Chain A
Amino acid sequence: MKKVLAAVNPGNENPSQTRMRRRMKIIFRDRYLYLLALPGLFFFLLFKYIPMWGLVIAFQNYSPYVGILNSDWVGLEHFARFFSNSDFYILLRNTLAISFMNLLFFFPAPIILSIMMNEVRQVVLKRLIQTVIYFPHFLSWVIIAGISFIMLGQSEGVINSILSLFGMEKIPFLTSSSLFWPMLTLQNIWKDAGWGTVIFLAAISGIDPTLYEAAKMDGASKLKQIWHVTLPGIGNVILVLLILKLGDVMDVGFEQVFLMGSAAVSNVADVFDTYVYRNGVLNGEFSYTASVGLFKSIVGLIMVMGANKLAKMFGQDGLY
């Protein structure tokens, strides 16, 4: 057992046989590791892979009653309908714009926030802030939309009431197309930046404190410490999250967009998710819904694989 970890010696047999044998040896060596992975792998097989047959209904006119085997195959018909839809470009533009604004402004927010919190010395204060700022995460979008309407409404909204109190003109926050995307991003930051700090704070707490001591010895300023110690210390987690986020570029959070969007801002608020809700889900058209979903997934996969490759080129571990 103790010796197994040592390198396995190649023998004199022909190469392919050697490789086989070497692999078997490695697998045997790591048998406990594989055993450890078994429950998890079994979970993914059972609950994630077995239902995957559901994806093929994207190529059918699926009727649950006759089942997947007896439903008609229609090839790429649903995809053709989706791509030839005259609004496809607008849907794509809106989806990408909202996604990238989130990536640009919402994604870094919890990182910055957790670094700031890490610098707070007063333990009680720190814990208090932590608990408070993660509260909005627990509010559903319905409630948040409700609060937003109270704050931003035109006739009685708090902000507009204050504006008119000072004799300024009211701003149509909720019906203005140009303010819609920034509003979504701000809402996201407000709702989930605090919650996002949980994972980064955990990562920061794993950083070896001697590194900070060493940096101080070298006379590094606070900002330099953050740059050279904290950030690299959590870089791994940031990278994993970022790559996974890229897989979601086609998902923009249906509930939020659906609740905040209105006919007044439809030209910027109609995204793939709202489109498929309208044309697939509401109608009980499972196959059309599935085909749009599949399209989104494939784009996500390409994004993730691309990002992963890029990360590797820069010498990072990446996802896999």
Chain B
Amino acid sequence: MKRSNLLSIRRLSAVLFVITLAAATLLGACSNGTGNAPGNAPGNTQGDPGNDKPGNMTKDPDTGNGNQEEPTPISIMTTFYGAEPPGPDNVIVKEIEKRTGTKLNITWVSPNSYNEKVNVTLASGDMPDLSLISDNFASNVRTMAAQGAFWELESYIKEYPNLSAYPKEAWDNTRYQDGKIYAIPRVRGLDAGMVSVRKDWLDKLKLPVPKTTDDLYNVMKAFTNDDPDGNGNKDTVGLVGSIGSDGLNLGSFTHIVNIFQNASDGWKIDENGKLINMVTDKSTKDALAWLSKAYREGLIHADFATLKNTQAREAIMTGKAGIAFEAVSAAWVLTEGIRTTNPSGDMLPLDSLTGPSGTPYIGKGSGYSGVFVIPKTVPEEKMKKILSFLDYGASAEGYELGAYGFKDVHFTKDGDFYVQTEQAKKDIVSTSAIGQIFTRYDQYAYAKAPNVPADYYNRSKGIIDEIGKVSVSNPSNGLYSDTWAKYRNDFLKKTTDLQVKIMLGTEPLEKWDAFVAELLSDANWNKSLEELNDAYNKKMGK
């Protein structure tokens, strides 16, 4: 509808624009013929720059001249990190095009405001052949899938060995309500880790590596009171963390609550096979009691309620705090930061922590971050071509080419490690660029981090193996309920607000009981749980 309307708008605007220009020339001179110089100015300024920069639009790749094999044009929208993305003439892009028989037209979008860009692109109706979407469960994306905007992929995937090699969890977690898969996961490691502790401080204070929440509490106490940095001042604190930036979860402290609940993200299947949310369980209150006691005793950074994630990290890197709830990859980043001033610094990731329930707990990730979708407007043949393009990117060879470039030109290999050369920087060969299109599952992905030394890396690998033995995933992944979608954020916000206040001591712990009672009697809360249970049963094929 819009198209025809707006086309006439374009014509109308052209007419009006001409009138406007004509009017501008009428500025001419007074009737007695004085000024003539300034009169032309406005007309000029409007006309002049038009021939300049804005005129050169990027060439439409769809019209690119075909070689003998006629490469398939594929338009892609994805994000990138770093100063500059690779252009169409980039040596790696060229090589990928050659090897996959494609002609790529990549729109590189800044991760700043990526979601807004996706939203308007989805709305505009001319989606690229392949788009990265950060949240495939956002209401608008889900609606579009239901309206048939994207290719349903499950039946095709098995033809592609490398894509099929993605962990089953990753594929399953992208599934919608109807049990269908509409997207290719941008695959990630499943076990990311959860918490790390200053190992050198533990050694100095002769403390064992904490296994339980009680151990952790004692370590926090010792880190706060026993001068672990040995500078003679009581200037350290046990635990630093930040609240989720959208205010919808406890951020770092969510993990503590989850350990007490022994439930990933607070969701659990109870003994009757029912999906339950543990926020109303007594374990949540116990966790809050633990946290508020720790804060009262000064074991948690005083400003945690207002800290941003980067500030919390700075507190670790500057040696002000010794425990951080962060992924294994971040543990190295923090260690590297600490080592700029203290070469013996070491953040040790823990494989799990045991709460009062007695079962060791660590959460498992969804196995992906963002998905790629192919719009239904793409013909089936081309869709298959795109899948094989992605399949190539998920192969050992393709991934190496995309993320690391040519051997001995862009990287040298040292065991497991890719050592990037200066040329790699020049040619923008990086996981931050093509690596945002080509992804390959790596169980130990989170052990990798820039500049990580071999010993640290190998230790992290071992820890990830251990994590894999205990980690549990969130059973509510991918479940949808109308009511929950509508009220979810309100519930989460209220929960988080009260939890933070209880931690700070500005509200008494008793308030939590009242809150839970209120929640349990809230019609929307109960309806959400009902609907989510239905969804769960449906998904499980019950």
Q: Say if the two chains contact directly (CB < 8 Å).
A: yes
Q: CA A127 – CA B141 in complex, angstroms?
A: 53
B493 within 8 A of A: yes
Q: CA A282 – CA B496 in complex, angstroms?
A: 17
The interface centre, meaning the residue of B23, B306, B489 with most chain A CB atoms within 10 A of its CB, is B306
Against B, the Cβ 8 Å flags (1 = close, 0 = not) of A62-95 are 0111111100000000000100010100000000
> Which residues of chain B in 399-445 are interfacial with respect to chain A, using CB atoms and an 8 Å cutoff?
none
B501 touches A64 (CB 8 A): no
B139 within 8 A of A: yes
Least CB distance from B485 to A in Å reads: 7
Q: Say which residue of B243, B303, B493 sits within 8 Å of A149 (CB atoms).
A: B303
- A64 closest partner in B (C-beta): B123
Instruction: Mark the stretch among B13-21, B204-212, B466-474 that contacts chain A.
Output: B13-21
B306 touches A155 (CB 8 A): no
Against B, the Cβ 8 Å flags (1 = close, 0 = not) of A149-191 are 1000111110000000000000000110000000000000000
- A87 closest partner in B (C-beta): B490
A42 within 8 A of B: yes
The interface centre, meaning the residue of A36, A64, A66, A157 with most chain B CB atoms within 10 A of its CB, is A64
B1 touches A38 (CB 8 A): no
B500 touches A282 (CB 8 A): no
Q: CA A199 – CA B96 in complex, angstroms?
A: 56
Q: Which residues of A contact B303 (CB under 8 A)?
A: 149, 153-157, 174
- A142 closest partner in B (C-beta): B308
A175 touches B305 (CB 8 A): yes
A1 touches B31 (CB 8 A): yes
> Which residues of chain B in 278-314 are interfacial with respect to chain A, using CB atoms and an 8 Å cutoff?
301-303, 305-308, 311
Q: Which residues of B contact A32 (CB under 8 A)?
A: 26
Q: Which residues of A contact B157 (CB under 8 A)?
A: none
A286 touches B246 (CB 8 A): no
Q: Which residues of B contact A155 (CB under 8 A)?
A: 237, 301-303
A38 touches B19 (CB 8 A): yes
A264 within 8 A of B: yes
B2 within 8 A of A: yes
> Which residues of chain A in 278-306 are interfacial with respect to chain B, using CB atoms and an 8 Å cutoff?
278-279, 282-286
Instruction: Mark the stretch among B143-151, B166-174, B326-334, B456-464 that contacts chain A.
Output: B143-151
> Which residues of chain B in 469-497 are interfacial with respect to chain A, using CB atoms and an 8 Å cutoff?
485-486, 489-490, 493, 496-497
- A157 closest partner in B (C-beta): B303
- A149 closest partner in B (C-beta): B306
A63 touches B140 (CB 8 A): yes
B20 touches A263 (CB 8 A): no
B305 touches A264 (CB 8 A): yes
Least CB distance from B5 to A in Å reads: 9
Given known pairs A64-B140, A154-B302, A155-B303, the reply for A264 and B500 (CB within 8 Å) is yes
Q: Which residues of A contact B306 (CB under 8 A)?
A: 149, 153, 174-175, 262, 264
Least CB distance from B343 to A in Å reads: 25
B13 touches A46 (CB 8 A): yes
Q: Which residues of A contact B144 (CB under 8 A)?
A: 63-65
Least CB distance from A39 to B in Å reads: 5
A7 within 8 A of B: no
B504 touches A264 (CB 8 A): yes
**A-B pair number, CB within 8 angstroms:** 122
Q: Which residues of B contact A262 (CB under 8 A)?
A: 243, 247, 305-306, 500
A52 within 8 A of B: no
B509 within 8 A of A: no
Against A, the Cβ 8 Å flags (1 = close, 0 = not) of B494-526 are 001101110010100000000000000000000
- B120 closest partner in A (C-beta): A64
Q: Which residues of A contact B20 (CB under 8 A)?
A: 38-39, 42
A65 touches B16 (CB 8 A): no
Q: Which residues of A contact B248 (CB under 8 A)?
A: 278
Q: CA A77 – CA B127 in complex, angstroms?
A: 30
A278 touches B1 (CB 8 A): no
The interface centre, meaning the residue of B16, B135, B302, B303 with most chain A CB atoms within 10 A of its CB, is B303
- A259 closest partner in B (C-beta): B308
B489 touches A282 (CB 8 A): yes
Q: CA A85 – CA B16 in complex, angstroms?
A: 46
Against B, the Cβ 8 Å flags (1 = close, 0 = not) of A249-279 are 0000000000001111011001000000011
Given known pairs A63-B147, A263-B305, A278-B248, the reply for A38 and B141 (CB within 8 Å) is no
B119 within 8 A of A: yes
> Which residues of chain B in 109-125 are interfacial with respect to chain A, using CB atoms and an 8 Å cutoff?
119, 122-125
B119 touches A64 (CB 8 A): yes
A6 within 8 A of B: no
Q: Which residues of A contact B147 (CB under 8 A)?
A: 63, 65-66
Q: CA A278 – CA B488 in complex, angstroms?
A: 10
Q: CA A282 – CA B245 in complex, angstroms?
A: 12
B9 within 8 A of A: yes
A50 within 8 A of B: yes
B497 touches A285 (CB 8 A): no
> Which residues of chain B in 27-43 are interfacial with respect to chain A, using CB atoms and an 8 Å cutoff?
31
Given known pairs A65-B147, A153-B306, A263-B500, the reply for A286 and B247 (CB within 8 Å) is no
A125 within 8 A of B: no
Q: Which residues of B contact A132 (CB under 8 A)?
A: none
Q: CA A64 – CA B126 in complex, angstroms?
A: 11
- A42 closest partner in B (C-beta): B16
- B495 closest partner in A (C-beta): A263
A50 touches B496 (CB 8 A): no
Given known pairs A35-B26, A39-B24, A153-B306, the reply for A263 and B501 (CB within 8 Å) is yes
B57 within 8 A of A: no
B17 touches A284 (CB 8 A): no
B489 touches A279 (CB 8 A): yes
Least CB distance from B298 to A in Å reads: 10
A36 touches B23 (CB 8 A): yes
Q: Which residues of A contact B243 (CB under 8 A)?
A: 262-263
Least CB distance from A12 to B in Å reads: 33
- A70 closest partner in B (C-beta): B1
Given known pairs A154-B303, A263-B499, A279-B489, the reply for A285 and B139 (CB within 8 Å) is yes
- B244 closest partner in A (C-beta): A263
Q: CA A282 – CA B248 in complex, angstroms?
A: 11
Q: CA A39 – CA B42 in complex, angstroms?
A: 11
B504 touches A175 (CB 8 A): yes
Q: Which residues of B contact A39 (CB under 8 A)?
A: 20, 23-24
Q: Which residues of B contact A285 (CB under 8 A)?
A: 139-140
Q: Which residues of A contact B83 (CB under 8 A)?
A: none
Least CB distance from B320 to A in Å reads: 8
Least CB distance from B273 to A in Å reads: 29
Q: CA A189 – CA B147 in complex, angstroms?
A: 49
B540 within 8 A of A: no
Q: CA A131 – CA B136 in complex, angstroms?
A: 48
Q: CA A175 – CA B504 in complex, angstroms?
A: 9
Q: CA A48 – CA B9 in complex, angstroms?
A: 13
A63 touches B143 (CB 8 A): yes
Q: CA A193 – CA B285 in complex, angstroms?
A: 46
B31 touches A282 (CB 8 A): no
- Pairs A–B under 8 Å by Cβ, sample size 13: A38-B23, A42-B17, A67-B1, A68-B1, A69-B1, A153-B302, A263-B501, A266-B247, A278-B490, A279-B490, A283-B138, A284-B139, A285-B140
Measuring CB to CB, which residues of chain A are less than 8 angstroms from any residue of chain B? 1, 32, 35-36, 38-39, 42, 45-46, 50, 63-69, 81, 85, 87, 149, 153-157, 174-175, 261-264, 266-267, 270, 278-279, 282-286
The 8 residue pairs across chains A and B that have the minimum distance between CB atoms: A64-B123, A263-B500, A284-B140, A284-B138, A155-B302, A266-B497, A264-B305, A69-B1
User: What would 17 more interface pairs be, CB under 8 Å, given A154-B302, A175-B506?
Assistant: A35-B23, A36-B23, A38-B16, A38-B20, A46-B9, A65-B143, A68-B2, A69-B1, A149-B307, A153-B302, A155-B301, A174-B305, A266-B497, A267-B497, A283-B139, A284-B135, A284-B139
